[in-house]
Amino acid sequence: MAQTRKLTTVQTALRVLAYLAEHPEGVEAARLAAFLGKSLSTAYALLASLVAEGFAEREGSLYKLSRTALARSPAPLVEPERLADALEELYLRTRERTYLALLDREGRLRLSTRGRQGLPKLSGVEEVIAEGFHALALGKAVLAFLEPEVQAGHLQNLRAYTPLTLTDPLTLEEELAKVRRMGFAVEIEEHALGLSSLAAPIFDPEGRVLGALGVVVPSRRFPYAFTRLVQAVQEVAKAASSYHPTEPVSVGSELLSQPLENLPEPPPTPACEEKAVPAPPRLVAEANLRDYRTEYERSLRDPEGFWAAWARRFFWFSPWKEVCRLEPPHHRWFVGAETNITYNALDRYAEGPRRNHLALIALAGDGAVHKLTYRELRDLTSRLAGGLRALGVGPGDRVAVYMPTGLEMALTFLACARIGAVHVAVPAGMGAQALRERLVDTGARLLVAADRMYQGGRVLPFAGLIEEAVQDLDLEVLWFSRGGNARPLEFWELVEAHRPNTPPLPVDSEHPLFILYTSGSTGKPKGVVHVHGGYMVGITYHLRALFDLKEGDVMWATADLSWIVGHSYGLYAPLLEGLTTVLRAERLDYPDPGSFYETLEECGVNVLLTSPTWLRTFRRHGEEWAKGADLGALRLVGCVGEYLAPEVWRWARNHLAHVLDNWWQTETGGPCLSTPVCMPAKPGKAGLPLPGVEMRVVDGLGRELPPGEKGHLVICKPFPHFMRTFWNDDRRYIEQWSRIPGCYTTGDIAVRDEEGYIALLGRSDDVIKAGELRIGTAEIEGAMLAHPAVAEAAAIGVPDPEGGEVVKVYVVLKTREASLEARAILSDKLKSHLRRQLGSLSLAIEVLIVERLPRTKSGKIMRRLLKAQELGADPGDLSTLEP
């Protein structure tokens, strides 16, 4: 009886299909019920079964014969239980979320999954997938082996599920060709952010693709597990197939052979433009600078009045006769006035109501913590100043300083300035030859040096290096000894031998304060000269107007004191404004990343100024370290030194505080481009020209370019805190004002948008010429950093006889332990990602995954070293290369 009923049902179904074939216009269920002599519910049940099996389709109330009902279907599986077993086997081998995807008659993928509760699933994916094959490893594994005419349908109107989805047909076809060669497909956050997957195809006895087996894992674990997963997926898929090709399957070659213009047009590349992000309302409401546009226009309309108003906040032993005297390209500010930066930074507070206010917190590398009030810091500075004078150091003499960041270095700077001497900081750890060159170039009268440094749990001895550097030079060494071996001239003995009665010496406003050599990342180091008066006025204005410090605030600039950021915002500006500054000698992530957050919390830091390098480092360490810290006091994070990628900007804002990207140079003394809190920030862009700073993007003749066009970033006029010259090389200073007529050439390539925001694209000597394209290294590196697997990137151009230059990108992955196989796959993925981001499908790109990038001690990537190694050329000065 059961068999008879089954045959009757089949015969009835065939009658229905025949009836639908005779009525292509469609049939209603009631009409079909009358034809069969059955009830309406029976007719509905039959039609529903035929629709589910793909034999019929429904349009409103009408039922029609499916267009694929009479098409040849894939050969039936002889052993359907084999595939269910394969899914189970893959799960048992990997213990990850596994999927089985099978093609149905409509060309859709029907999914089955296996995995314990808690394992991630493909988000937004139902049991049946009709589109989006290109964004899934399961889909790519099938798509790669479909017939060309079927495959072509999936290459139309490609949708971007995430910023990493491949949406241009040519790049996708290249990836499908790799799938055919390798026998498996990979997707990294192309369908859903945070998830990655791989899959291998399954074939029927005739060699046609039936579907795929795959596994999904969180992206953070993907590089670790890659080798194990790909082996399991390939082995299980092969066992589940009824056909095993012995040669690579060559499908879709017709598409590859088509000329580019015959392919479907890819959608426009997503612009790098980021949406403007306003600062939190409370920050905006309480900002020191409330109206940027008005302030900026006032500063350009009347620069002398603008800067004079701010300068009156300070003490001058004698007033100025002129605010500014311009003799292009030279400039003088507060002409005829006398002052001393240490009187304004120390004495006026030490003798007033803030005498007991905390001025300095210094965290030494050996674990010592120094906390000094303004009176204590003034007294120690006065003692050391008396000691330096007793050693014969006088106004204008140069004193070289070779010490780690800390109390002793800060005291040396301040003591030199107090007696009119000029301090010359040389980064601790720099080689003997580089140190000697700076001693000779400046004609240093004295070297103040530490015999060792503590960093990363290691002791770095300097005594031998220093003795080699000063050999046969006529200068004394004042030693800060921590190694137990006392020397004839000891730092703290000299301090203790003098009373705190050495007053600040009145000096001309234009008297040199310090000489600071640039890092050397742009060639031969240059000795930049800054002066007492203008430097004091300019850096404090930006401390208040940009970094928005309030009375009683604590600031921590993480830069080494031997760099311009350390000079300006690690020491001088916070003290000049009567605030508290934090200095830390040790690496920020030693002994673990938690120490960075502990310093923020324990010191009550309100404003942090750090580098993109450190933000990327803590992003790589993960936000778990930040979760246990109380960062309620932290209000702003300034970031300076190199390009800040939007992804890193967003991470810092989410896990630290609102971010102020800012651009400046050793030569400028303080910030030039940024986004004050009263204006919305645009991640990926340095920001707007700051009040008092006139900047433009121009062509090689100095003509201002319209928004959207790349050009040279220039400074139109000097400002008070701008350098005065290069030490012993005024010709070089003049030359930098003459490369482009009437402008100071910063050496950077930039682009301005309609609202005036400026994005830095890299150094002008770092522009890569690939075919007809001109691409800045920052543009390339920013695009690469948008990929979730990338922690750091450095781009160079390698000469190519046929196409100008090949773009070569050195990449540091977030996961250092990735296998060789995973690195090879990731390299291919990163090439495709970069082509998509840059909008050039034919761009020649090489990606090399490395353990680390060469950097200067200030954190800048030394691209010229990478290029020199690539070309076998002389890399030039490497004195500032981080060991």
pLDDT in tens, 613-665: 899 889 988 888 888 889 999 999 999 988 888 989 999 999 999 999 999 99
Closest Cα to residue 580, out of 610, 551, 611, 601? 551
Q: How many CA atoms lie within 13 A of 559 on its CB side?
A: 27
- Note whether 778 and 761 are within 8 A (CB): yes
- Which fold does the domain 80-247 belong to in CATH? Beta-Lactamase (3.30.450)
767-871 fold: GMP Synthetase; Chain A, domain 3 (3.30.300)
Give the span between the Cα atoms of 359 and 554, in whole angstroms: 9
In the structure encoding, which two tokens stand for residue 154, read together? 């999936």
Which pLDDT does position 839 carry in this prediction?
59
The pTM (predicted TM-score) of the whole model is 0.67
Chain Cα centroid distance, residue 827:
19
Please give the share of the chain, as a percent, with pLDDT higher than 90: 55
Average of per-residue pLDDT across 602-612:
96
- Return d(Cα 583, Cα 571) in angstroms, integer: 8
**For position 77, what pLDDT does the model report?**
40
Which residues lie across from 845 on neighbouring strands?
Answer: 807
Other CB atoms within 10 Å distance of the CB of residue 253: 12
Sorting pLDDT into bands at 50, 70 and 90, what band is 607?
very high
Q: Which fold has domain 2-65?
A: Arc Repressor Mutant, subunit A (1.10.10)
What is the torsional sign of CA 299, 304, 309, 315?
A: positive
Closest CA to 303 of 737, 626, 715: 715
Alpha-carbon separation of residue 267 from 204, 357, 665, 783, 841 (angstroms): 35, 60, 39, 18, 12
Q: What is the end-to-end Cα distance of the chain in Å, rounded?
A: 87
pLDDT band at 249 (very low <50, low <70, confident <90, very high): very low
Q: Where in the chain is the domain with CATH 3.30.450.40?
A: 80-247
On average, the pLDDT of the chain sits at 87
- CATH code 3.30.300.30 region(s) in the chain: 767-871
Q: What is the mean pLDDT of residues 277-285?
A: 97
| pLDDT value, residue 266 | 32
Please state the separation of Cα 438 from the chain's center in Å.
33
Tell me: pLDDT of 806 over 90: no
Cα(858)–Cα(861) distance, integer angstroms: 9
Integer CA distances (angstroms), 132 to 109, 142, 425, 553, 826, in order: 10, 12, 58, 53, 21
> pLDDT confidence of 571, banded at 50, 70, 90?
very high
Secondary structure class of 35 (helix, strand, coil): helix
Alpha carbon 478 to its chain's center:
41
What's the confidence (pLDDT) of residue 243? 63
pLDDT of amino acid 804: 64
Closest by Cα among 243, 203, 199 to 90: 199
* CA–CA separation, 423 and 735 (whole Å): 26
Residues of the chain with CATH 1.10.10.10: 2-65
Give 89's DSSP letter: H
Name, in order, each residue with C-beta under 8 angstroms of 820's C-beta and a sequence gap of 6 or more.
none
Q: For residues 857 and 256, what is the distance between their CA atoms, to the nearest angstrom?
A: 48
Cα–Cα distance between 196 and 230 in angstroms, integer? 13
What pairs with residue 358 in β-bridges?
A: 373
3-state secondary structure of 198: strand
What's the DSSP call for residue 74? P
- Return the number of other C-beta atoms located less than 10 Å from residue 199's C-beta: 31
